[in-house]
Amino acid sequence: MPRQIYINGQYFAPDDAKISVYDHGLLYGDGVFEGMRAYSGKVFRLTEHLQRLDESGRAIGLQMPIDLETMANDVNETVARNEITDGYIRLIVTRGAGALGLDPFKCSNPQLIIIADSITLYPDSAYENGLDLVTASTIRNHPAALSPRIKSLNYLNNILAKMEGLRAGCVEALMLNHKGEVAECTGDNIFIVKDGKLFTPPIEAGILEGITRNAVLQLAQQAGIETAEIPLTRHDLYVADECFLTGSAAEVIAAVKLDGRAIGDGSVGPITQQLNQAFRTLVRQ
């Protein structure tokens, strides 16, 4: 079935879905976005994603072109029109077309784009065996420069780290913050298990407040697993019993190696498996 791409309330075939080359989303990465998944035709935590999109917009002084309720209806409509049962949705708000200079105040027509498609991030084998990570030398954006809490269209920080990972033969890379603490991976949050407890860096470490992260923290608490959001070092990861990543695209996936060291026994651990199972059940409830 041919895809129908939503732009500002209208639907276009992919080849006809176009925006201006003067759009500051293209010229400067000036805009915000969300990536979410639909399970059995229903978007997981849609309200939370729209809230985060709106907050990212507020942080960069970009007002959403339509109210969040209408946006939710439009996302659902796009999912339905594209006959997506299990798929991925990309929601983008650009600053809009302006002059060639930086001035965002000259941009008057933000573009709201919704793409509903499928995504295969990792093969099944990656979920069965876990990922091999490497620490990137590129640190996560300093929160005082461009807060990692803003899911902006400027993903170069993450892309530079991702390139380092790929060049080292790893599909994901660990990013540290400006203090040398563990922040997150290029497109996922990170967790470790140590002595039966679950740890993940706090928001103050300079990370995106992942919606999957929050769901997994909640699931762990419901399962009686003790959780703590505390600063972590690479050492904590090297000596962890288990490690896993969370994200809308990646879902819950184990990381079994970091910088050539096996984490735990180098296989997918029991708490990772338990939380992965709980997450898979949750998204289809």
Question: Which residues does the annotation mark as catalytic?
Answer: 151
Cβ-Cβ contacts under 8 Å for 204 (sequence gap 6 or more): none
SS3 labels along 172-236: EEEEECCCCCEEEECCCEEEEEECCEEEECCHHHCCCCCHHHHHHHHHHHHCCCCEEECCCCHHH
Q: Which residues form the interface with ligand PMP (CB under 6 A)? A: 35, 158, 184, 187-189, 208, 210-213, 246-248
Q: How far is the CB of 260 from ligand PMP (least distance, A)?
A: 24
Q: How far is the CB of 210 from ligand PMP (least distance, A)?
A: 3
Nearer to ligand PMP, 44 or 97 (CB): 44
Q: How far is the CB of 259 from ligand PMP (least distance, A)?
A: 20
